[in-house]
Amino acid sequence: MRRLSTCFAIALLAVITVDPIVSQAWSGAVNEKLSTPEQGLKPSKYPEVARLLIPSLGINEKVIPGTTMDVYNRGVGLWPTSPMAGQRGNFVVGGHRTSGRKPFRYIDKLRVGDSIVVQQGGDEFVYKVTRQRIVKPTDVWVAKPTRTATLTLFACHPVGSVKERIIVHATLSS
């Protein structure tokens, strides 16, 4: 299992460093949050690129690029190949259910039709939940690009276990 995780991490790193669209989008978001030397502030290691709001669950979390435990302990993590919110493709966000800030503790309570809002760059994008499912941790196909603007949330499942993943799919509302 550790070997699979290491291979997966290496593959993700390759995608991040080779995919110019993702790199450009993330570097733009990161640069907006970085301070200039004149301000005397250090750049944030965990720049907020968006906010994730789920009104039915009382969630209002910062979205940080990456899928590491350190990122998940500070907010919710944006999958490396995700487009910007509202764009065509799969905006994929993961979070903890039992550790760190526990933003996705009650993700299983989301129902078809519930709203998920992503605020990014002064814009607000409303997605509607279309489906919820349980998959294996190795089912990374859930993060594949889509032809339409979609959002995918994921977390470990059941609560307190890493045996499976709970996945919530949503589509951009018109």
**Structure confidence by residue, pLDDT tens digits, 137-154:** 999 999 999 999 999 999
CATH architecture of the domain 2-172 equals: Beta Barrel (2.40)
User: Whole-prediction pTM value?
Assistant: 0.75
**Backbone conformation region of residue 70, classed left if phi is above 0, alpha if psi is from -120 to 50, else beta:** alpha
Burial per residue of 63-84, b for 16 or more beta-carbon CB atoms within 10 angstroms, e otherwise? bbbbbeeebbebbbbbbbbbbb
Domain parsing of the chain, residue ranges? 2-172
Assess contact for 170 and 130: CB atoms under 8 A: yes
What would the pLDDT profile of 79-91 be if each residue is shown by its tens digit?
999 999 999 999 9
Task: Using the predicted structure, report yes or no on whether residue 8 has a pLDDT greater than 90.
Answer: no
Dist. CA 45–CA 71, nearest whole Å: 10
For residue 38, the number of C-alpha atoms closer than 13 Å in the C-beta half-sphere is 0
pLDDT confidence bin for 40, thresholds 50/70/90: low
pLDDT attached to residue 22: 36
| Nearest by Cα to 58 from 112, 125, 115 | 115
pLDDT at residue number 37: 42
Joined tokens for residue 131 = 């489906």
pLDDT on residue 34:
33
